[in-house]
Amino acid sequence: MDESPAVTDGDPRTGRPRLPLLLGVVAVLVIALDQAAKYLAVRDLTPGEPVGVIHGLLQFRLIRNSGAAFSVATGMTWVLTLVATTVSVVIVRAARRLGSVRWALALGLLLGGAVGNLLDRLFREPAFGRGHVVDFIEYLKFPFMDFPVFNVADSCVVTAACLIALLGFLGVGLDGRRVTG
């Protein structure tokens, strides 16, 4: 059994204790940015009236989404609420085993995005635990597909998923060690 300490890309003096803090700070920043952007979107945008941001490329269009990303599972809001809650708990529990700054960033983005949308599901209309997520960012021309309307939290979840896939491909374990085999 390998008894060597986990390789960290954190503070060499303290190593892992700072990584859960980094995860938490990233998550809180994502939640704050997501909720502030949604507040402004609800305040300043009118449903059904898109606002051009970059002509022909990007616009803001306010919609309420009862489903998951790409409008999957529309009408299953309570299930998505349970899933987001479970994912959040798993990430918080996994934070103790962090040994990599890259994993801390990826899980912080994932946690922040999950909680950002979970807050919508819990506290927005039509009811507690069944609220609709506020989406407002829309790409107009995306090669090979119609890109769905999304929000800051969705962007962070997708970015986290890409980082996690990359870390897995590179063989970097949650503890920061290279996974071999």
Provide the token pair at 153. Answer: 């939290």
Active-site option among 9, 44, 135, 175: 135
| C-beta neighbour count of 150 within 10 angstroms | 20
The verdict on whether 34 is a catalytic residue reads no
Catalytic residue among 2, 9, 11, 154: 154
Report CA torsion sign: 65, 68, 71, 74. negative
Active-site residue 135, yes or no?
Answer: yes
Secondary structure of the chain in HEC code, one letter for each residue: CCCCCCCCCCCCCCCCCHHHHHHHHHHHHHHHHHHHHHHHHHHHCCCCCCEEEECCCEEEEEEEECCCHHHCCCCCHHHHHHHHHHHHHHHHHHHHHCCCHHHHHHHHHHHHHHHHHHHHHHHCCCCCCCCCEEEEEEECCECCECCCCECHHHHHHHHHHHHHHHHHHHCECCCCCECCC
Residues involved in catalysis: 135, 154
